[in-house]
Structure 1
């Protein structure tokens, strides 16, 4: 079996998000700047459905096995019937939709927008959602684990919510990283989350506000390379935690994807470099595959777009590299990490 396959019928413009089904390890949604969401069976390497939008699609996710959701620059929240290819418009934001997650426990879709709100949608309800929560800044990223929702905003702000009690955030924090947040993912074990910045750093954070837990916070440099004595730094575009082992993958505009063990503070593996930046990655529900979206991310403007490679989506078979190494294995190189002080957050 080869390490990876390239999906047939990729988007024509940059990939914005790749998201696997929570129940079927072979079902994948891909949203893109070509105004589409594509639904794939990756085992068959087949595009099963395509949904056209009026503008670039920035976010997508699955609800259940047969329904997906999408949103983007046209501000409309869509429910996608993956079997019939019918589209149901659930409602609107007043600006672009940047991120979305689905709570299977609550049967609710959660959308975040540049209009400085997050909204909750019950797809079964006859009327559009009125559950709106105002925020101090534009939403850049969100992720959900169990009932904990982490919202990353502009101005390096973070809100952490218990979605069962949305009257106020459980915690508010300032990013531990000095530059704009580009990536966010919650740990599979529900203990915390990782964030990545445009300046090639990842921070590992914990929800528990106790001083003992907060002392474990740290950050490290990554997606960097020294070329002719010049330090080149690329944005960290995406993060994804493995559903079983709680290790995580990072992807950057340098075209690399690495696997990290955040507890031992070591890199376990770096895959061969792709020929373009990697804007989005996702593990599937059983942890056997990693989807890798590869496409131009506009760091070099219109000039770079003239020579950019066409977008592609790869499905990589995942092996032992995602497991926490035992002491009998060859030790990995420890990270040169920076201890973070527990400041810039409030909450109980």
Structure 2
């Protein structure tokens, strides 16, 4: 039985009509962007849950991001990276890859956009440069890009073959990406990378796999050896059998540095990574949690409830985006008890 809507949040009006690949908040307002397999980019006002605009693309979209409240980006199966003017709905192709673009990351401090593709390539684009001269760097990777995330200093890329590549953003922006990553690691998880997010404080990253596990990693070599760990999540006993679901999304809370994981089981868990504790778990959404994002203040959580075909073709609930009010007690780390 589905939980009452109040537990899940309030749905937006006119959600995407096909699989939702990403929901992402603006960092300067309550605007929310959603990319979808319906070949459209959708913009909402999260405060009112009403649609603001929709922008068409030629193919299903796999990712999207904000440059600012006036300009947004999207990319997908056709390999094109497009830039959209929010006010006029005008669009332009910023650049392209030879295969689908899985991930986009906007580097706000640099004014650059990073795209990662199934063509085993990553590119940095400068939208201020003229067309044809706007590719700052083209980087070859050891496999298809499955996930990317950036902090202020480092960009982390997870590819096929369980490769994890860590880049110094300054070197990338300076056109030195071809010299290779700062670090090239093998994922500590045995199965395919599904999600990735850099810590709020920039010390490391959380990596989620298709096999219901999350690895907590650190950039510094000493920290990496001493403090890294992994844990199981998004598993459910069904008919006496332990069923494991992918970790589709990881989102950090800007205020506390705690983080949420969303899985194919339709549940969101909120974790205190430093204390290795689960703080909260939501009621079950109608279908898979395909993507999540905290608002800039951390007071709202956008949740894409969208079946991700973990169990193949079957009937499933319609796609929906929920705006969930976040209670402080759900995300605030609990103080450690003093030793007796």
TM range, smaller chain: over 0.9
- Secondary structure at the counterpart of residue 161 of structure 2: helix
Deviation at 1:127, TM superposition (A): 2.2
- Unmatched 5+ residue regions in structure 1? 329-348
Contact kept? 2:63, 2:102, Cα under 8 Å: yes
Work out whether 1:139 is the aligned partner of 2:145: yes
The CA distance in 1 between the partners of 2:180 and 2:160, in whole Å, is 19
Work out whether 1:310 is the aligned partner of 2:318: yes
- In the other structure, the counterpart of 1:196 is 208
Deviations 1:297-337 (A, max 9, x none): 112222x1xx2110000011111211111258xxxxxxxxx
The CA distance in 2 between the partners of 1:299 and 1:194, in whole Å, is 22
- Secondary structure at the counterpart of residue 214 of structure 1: helix
Contact kept? 2:262, 2:291, Cα under 8 Å: yes
- Secondary structure at the counterpart of residue 279 of structure 1: strand
The CA distance in 1 between the partners of 2:48 and 2:247, in whole Å, is 31
Work out whether 1:72 is the aligned partner of 2:76: yes
For the aligned residues, what is the CA RMSD?
1.2
Residue of 172, 175, 197 corresponding to 1:185: 197
The CA distance in 1 between the partners of 2:61 and 2:251, in whole Å, is 20
The CA distance in 1 between the partners of 2:153 and 2:110, in whole Å, is 9
- In structure 2, relative to structure 1, the CA distance for the partners of 1:59 and 1:247 (3 Å cut) is same
The CA distance in 1 between the partners of 2:231 and 2:336, in whole Å, is 23
Q: 5 Å matches for 1:265-304?
A: 265-302=276-313, 304=314
- In the other structure, the counterpart of 1:48 is 52
- In the other structure, the counterpart of 2:265 is 254
- Secondary structure at the counterpart of residue 136 of structure 1: coil
Deviation at 1:228, TM superposition (A): 3.3
Residue of 159, 167, 171 corresponding to 2:165: 159
TM-score with structure 2 setting the length: 0.92
Deviation at 1:229, TM superposition (A): 2.5
Work out whether 1:6 is the aligned partner of 2:11: yes
- In the other structure, the counterpart of 2:114 is 110
Deviation at 1:23, TM superposition (A): 1.2
Contact kept? 2:81, 2:96, Cα under 8 Å: yes
- Unmatched 5+ residue regions in structure 2? 1-5, 172-176
The CA distance in 2 between the partners of 1:300 and 1:287, in whole Å, is 32
Deviation at 1:213, TM superposition (A): 4.1
- In the other structure, the counterpart of 1:241 is 252
Q: How many residues align?
A: 322
Deviations 1:45-99 (A, max 9, x none): 2111101111110010001121110000011110011111111111111100000
